[in-house]
Structure 1
């Protein structure tokens, strides 16, 4: 968390607030949120630069600067980017503050796993873009030795899917997370392809899933948590068949599914 729909929502909420702003300065309160460089170098590379673009690549937010460099933000588990009024009180979990003139951009991260770098992420195609095709997915499925849960979580295969959406996608497709990816028949690969696009699109439409920490740049929660069918539903009845949803550990992650609908 945040996954593709959450980062896309954050990006969209940031664009009208910070695009075109000058970064007058930045104060870093926790040096480890700056990756692969010193705080001094980081400050030098961003201070005085104009924000000319905001894009998303998988789970990463890409901030294009007038220096022709791209600042990469990875929110990891609990990272937040909040646009706040100038001179407001700093939260105890705020680890960097960007002075944008009339407003401030605060980076807040309870778990302290996320941060900033100038390295571009190496990830697979965007699942909602044209280069993610059914033929691409079938080729990757047939070449994989992973189970489906691990396959969906592999960012080098598909960008942006995390634990929540992987569980929801597999339920939508009627596929077991334990199933080996290479065993899928063509029609099952097509079901998976459609489920990926449907679930992620719905996640974006509902502005992401707020279960614990996720909010957008205006501190607003998403709404997709109200539409989850299996994730976090251990012990609840399946909306399709009435059997109980179970939770097991697959690909090193808690995995929720219906053993009847996802045989």
Structure 2
């Protein structure tokens, strides 16, 4: 009986190790991003817009400029950046109802908070920029795509601003300095434990089965803005957390380069 139990233990250990060594279902390496593309100027009516295609996820991000500010900022010479997030009914299955829900409210707060971290609101002046993120197709990472694409739309909206003479209000390519409100790039990516191993940029099949799912938002300088994650009915170790963060920061460096090249 002891010998049989020992054999079964070895078989279970072998199966677990084989599972960990399996490639991801789409053939990507653990540190490999899905294809990421930005189509700027997608919505001509908005001051800034971009269609983000990130693997199977597609999000339209637009940035609109208003001359008013929230009441608590009136007369203080500061601007505001806010966001709205919505999944179109046909972006996922089953159909997503149009009515607002708690998840969408939480995500749009995260988007707005993340984008504000990269903006000098005093340099922006008394303006409000609203970034709308509409998910056209969802295959994991909709909030990270919204933040990443939202920054591109925000950059273009700020570049479109003019002063009283009609001249550009800010240096269009400046990120830091020259009085430009943009302090740095902002990007986001998901990471998790898939089959017991850290994996970057989870798609829906991975996101829905990962033992740990985490979203990381950071500046181009590598400073963290948001780290959100948790175990799905399980626990994880500190060294696994560090490995996931390292993987996320590696991915964010590549994402930022793609943003700037868009």
The structure that has the greater radius of gyration is: 2
Interval of TM-score (by shorter of Structure 1 and Structure 2): under 0.3
Higher strand share: 2
> TM-score w.r.t. structure 2 length?
0.25
